[in-house]
Structure 1
């Protein structure tokens, strides 16, 4: 259990300037001197926690603490909240997809650029669904359904004509970028599990978790197609 003292509160004001609100953990002990100083300075002490955050009703129009952000239209949470971390990872995913598109364009793989553009649009849908609570549509990439993608990733030789890959620098820049992209997708999936798995192991947003799992398989399929030579343009092959 923490303690908020007058000295600590005065130090916060000295460092950060005038405060409208200060948030503390639910079991924090507020010393009488700290409570009196807060009243004198017009500082509202708000009890919160990592998951529930602060409602706009609690703030009543006062300035939002800088270390808080909107979880939805009604509630603010610390920026360390698992769902806010997930949104940051989904932002990172989009950035890595675009970086991979640049490498694919430079290597003369316009079809791969297009497939990654489809993936980028889907990643943006995932972020929107996380924020709004809307459902996630089934993933379809390069003409394949989710189950097709899973089948291709499990049996690349029969479906694509190459054995399972162990990526290395010998395979070039595009494979390196795709391999990194796949690793990022897996990290986003872990973040989704942190955000949505209940203590009993049941998921709150199984659709998002499943979609991310299939996305990592889709990236692996792209890697196999690159190695199989399916993404090079005709002009590239003639050079």
Structure 2
């Protein structure tokens, strides 16, 4: 009987201990994103050695769980906007890495006035596929709560970019509105240079074997010799041998 009583007391103690421990919910998809973003920023040249935090996302953005490690890059140098991509399931979004510690939440007595942000807005209707130039946009100030990480404010960043959707007049330009413009298309003739800055300059004609945008490496075929070569795109139908 004594052994049975001891066994019952031990089982009861375990049950009470388990009940006393609070249930710890697994980290949310955004918590995982924040952790991996800060790990990436620690070795990224633009953020290395700096204290940064992930700015809150628009409440309308639902971060999905990713079954693999998230991938990060900074397609717009000079801006705190960072692209986050998930391989499985496939999705991407942009977050902002702001410098400094994450600000404390301040409770206000009444609604605060909306914060105005400088944004690039289109001067007129721009169709999908339009290759952009700074002259197509003007600066404006408007509320942009939750969109800070998606806004483009430097007009120089849109050079050699094209729209992926129609843009109505006075619409703020966002990172997901554009992509790198195709400056060289497969089958087109490309002027290729070599030796620039080395005391000599050679120019040749080659046929592009693939599409590509500014700074991308593509394969070409010399129009005279038929030899294959690799070059970096420097402009519309122009490239430089590596």
TM-score (norm 2): 0.23
Q: Which has the higher strand share?
A: 2
Structure with more relative contact order (C-alpha pairs < 8 Å, separation 6 or more): 1
TM-score (norm 1): 0.23
Which of the pair has more CA radius of gyration? 2
Q: Which has the higher helix share?
A: 1
